[in-house]
Amino acid sequence: MKSVMEWFSHVLLIITIVYIFLFGLIWFYEPVRALASGFLLGGLISLYNVFHLAFRLKIAGLRAQSGARKLAGLHMTVRILMIVFGVLIVYRFSTRIDYRSFVLSLLFGYLMLVTVMSYYYLRGKGSTSSEEGGEIYGSDSESEISRNDL
Amino acid sequence: MSLAVLAGGIMIAFGALAAGIGNGILFSRYLEGIARQPEAQGTLFGQSMIGLGLVEALPVISIAFGILVLFGIIG
């Protein structure tokens, strides 16, 4: 069974490809070129941020699992600097890239993240599999950690 | 100093501050959960991703708008 991380990366990759293809096609239509450029730039930065967040979360989880002394962080500065980079590009090429569509599309990745993950859990794929340990958060059965411990 | 610059600065500062606090709380709970129950990592990962996505979306917009205001593109 695919883990949630693999599944999420796979779905997000497909969404990214569709997004690039869609706005790449729109970009060829001259009257809305600036708009499409804004959507492309903002959307790709947003999707990169989501990928980065998932990757850092995975690394941090693996470090915590391995019991390493030095824990990994989420590296939020990288994501903020990525947005600053996008804004600087919009500022430099303000006639070619529409800033409104850029700012609007910065939300795309996060909305997609919430939608995709909610879909995952609503479809029932989020239930704990046997390889994840069967029960979580303690229960009345023979789990080592009881609810009182949490 | 114009008020637009001040507004931009406040937007960026408070956006980053709020995201930092929110992410910090969520992330610490995530690590705590994994440390207590390593086999629940898959479940915790998905739930943390939803939380982090919701927490981070608004500051991202506020930071982008703040920088645009600072550069005088808006306002």
Residue-wise pLDDT for A62-99, tens only, equals 888 887 778 788 888 899 899 989 989 998 998 899 98
CA trace torsion B10, B12, B13, B15 (10° rounding): 110
Is A71 a member of any domain?
Answer: no
**Chain B touched by A136 (CB under 8 Å):** yes
Contact at CB, A149 and B36, closer than 8 angstroms = yes
pLDDT at A135: 45
CA distances from A61 to A81, A106, A109, B23 (A): 24, 26, 22, 15
Portion 10-49 of A in contact with B at CB < 8 A: 46, 49
Query: Domain range holding A27?
Result: 1-66+83-124
pLDDT tens for the 75 residues of chain B, in order: 688 888 888 988 888 888 889 989 999 998 888 888 888 888 888 888 888 888 888 888 888 888 888 887 776
Contact at CB, A91 and B74, closer than 8 angstroms = no
Q: Please state the ipTM of this predicted complex.
A: 0.84
Which candidate from A50, A91, A133 shows the least CB-CB separation from B40?
A: A133
Q: pLDDT at residue A146 above 70?
A: no
Nearest Cα neighbor of B65 from B24, B4, B1 is B4
Nearest CA in chain A to B30: A61
pLDDT at A140: 47
Is A17 a member of any domain?
Answer: yes
Portion 1-20 of B in contact with A at CB < 8 A: 16, 19-20
Contact at CB, A60 and B56, closer than 8 angstroms = no
The pLDDT > 90 percentage for chain A reads: 31
Contact at CB, A57 and B74, closer than 8 angstroms = no
pLDDT at A2: 65
Is A137 a member of any domain?
Answer: no
Give the largest Cα separation in chain A, rounded: 66
Tokens of A35: 């708009």
pLDDT at A48: 93
Is A78 a member of any domain?
Answer: no
From A64's Cα to the closest Cα of chain B, the distance in A is 6
Is A88 a member of any domain?
Answer: yes
Q: pLDDT at residue A134 above 70?
A: no
More confident residue, A136 or B75: B75
CA distance A116 to B63: 25
If one counts the domains in chain A, the total is: 1
Which candidate from A53, A64, A83 shows the least CB-CB separation from B31?
A: A64
pLDDT at A1: 45
The fourth-level CATH superfamily of domain B3-63 is F1F0 ATP synthase subunit C (1.20.20.10)
Nearest Cα neighbor of A101 from A31, A145, A36 is A36
Contact at CB, A110 and B74, closer than 8 angstroms = no
Q: pLDDT at residue A136 above 60?
A: no
**Chain A touched by B49 (CB under 8 Å):** yes
Q: pLDDT at residue A125 above 90?
A: no
pLDDT at A144: 52
Residue-wise pLDDT for A30-48, tens only, equals 889 999 999 999 999 999 9
From A24's Cα to the closest Cα of chain B, the distance in A is 23
What global pTM score does this model have? 0.81
Q: pLDDT at residue A103 above 50?
A: yes
Is A87 a member of any domain?
Answer: yes
Domain ranges of chain B: 3-63
More confident residue, A127 or B44: B44
pLDDT at A25: 94
